[in-house]
């Protein structure tokens, strides 16, 4: 019996196969996620046209002069570059001017993304056409917004705070230390 299995590693940095060898007396079974297939462009467009439980983004953003789009960093596999063109079309249809749209990489406590990494996340053309900043939770450029009921202070990135319309584009993924992304109770 061969107790070697192969897993994919390095996602955004050139997906590579990594062989894992286990002791011969171990019973090893590879269990992969049962994920849905990726959406086609037509399916993404349909999703923007018929959102569940809310109006279209083009309607929600109507009359706004600025928008902040927060994307997750490369530690999350969200295919932001595939979705962003549809999102930008919605904002354009709402009348949000291109110069009023900024992106913020919400990397939590991770290091800032390099320009090359930003281009991977949002797409090379978006990276050159729009202002994109890395959120720096230690940068001192956060705006206080009061406190939660339990006294925990709330601080928001200035770019996001200044935008009239705010959109978060990301996924919910398992996190080894705190469960699923998006916080914990």
Instruction: Point out the catalytic residue in the list 56, 62, 89, 110.
Output: 110
User: How far is 185 from 165, CA to CA, in rounded Å?
Assistant: 27
Tell me the β-bridge partners of 106: 72
Do β-strands 142-147 and 131-134 pair in parallel, antiparallel, or remain unpaired?
Answer: unpaired
User: How far is 119 from 126, CA to CA, in rounded Å?
Assistant: 7
The question of whether 135 is a catalytic residue gets the answer no
Instruction: Point out the catalytic residue in the list 62, 89, 120, 175.
Output: 175
CB 83 within 8 A of CB 48: no
CB 140 within 8 A of CB 148: no
List active site positions: 110, 175
């Amino acid at each position: 019996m061969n107790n070697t299995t192969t897993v994919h590693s390095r996602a955004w940095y050139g997906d590579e196969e990594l062989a894992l060898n286990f002791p011969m007396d171990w019973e090893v079974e590879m269990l992969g996620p049962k994920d849905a297939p990726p959406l086609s462009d037509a399916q993404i467009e349909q999703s923007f046209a018929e959102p569940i439980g809310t109006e279209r983004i083009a309607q929600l953003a109507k009359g706004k002069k600025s928008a902040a789009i927060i994307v997750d960093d490369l530690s999350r596999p969200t295919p932001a570059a595939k979705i962003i063109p549809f999102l930008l079309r919605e904002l354009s249809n709402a009348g949000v001017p291109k110069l009023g749209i900024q992106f913020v990489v919400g990397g939590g406590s991770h290091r800032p993304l390099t320009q090359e990494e930003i281009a991977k996340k949002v797409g090379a053309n978006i990276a050159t056409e729009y202002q994109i900043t890395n959120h720096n939770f230690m940068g001192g450029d956060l705006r206080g917004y009061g406190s939660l009921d339990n006294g925990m202070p709330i601080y928001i990135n200035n770019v996001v705070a200044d935008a009239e319309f705010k959109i978060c584009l990301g996924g919910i993924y398992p996190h080894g230390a705190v469960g699923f992304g998006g916080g914990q109770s």
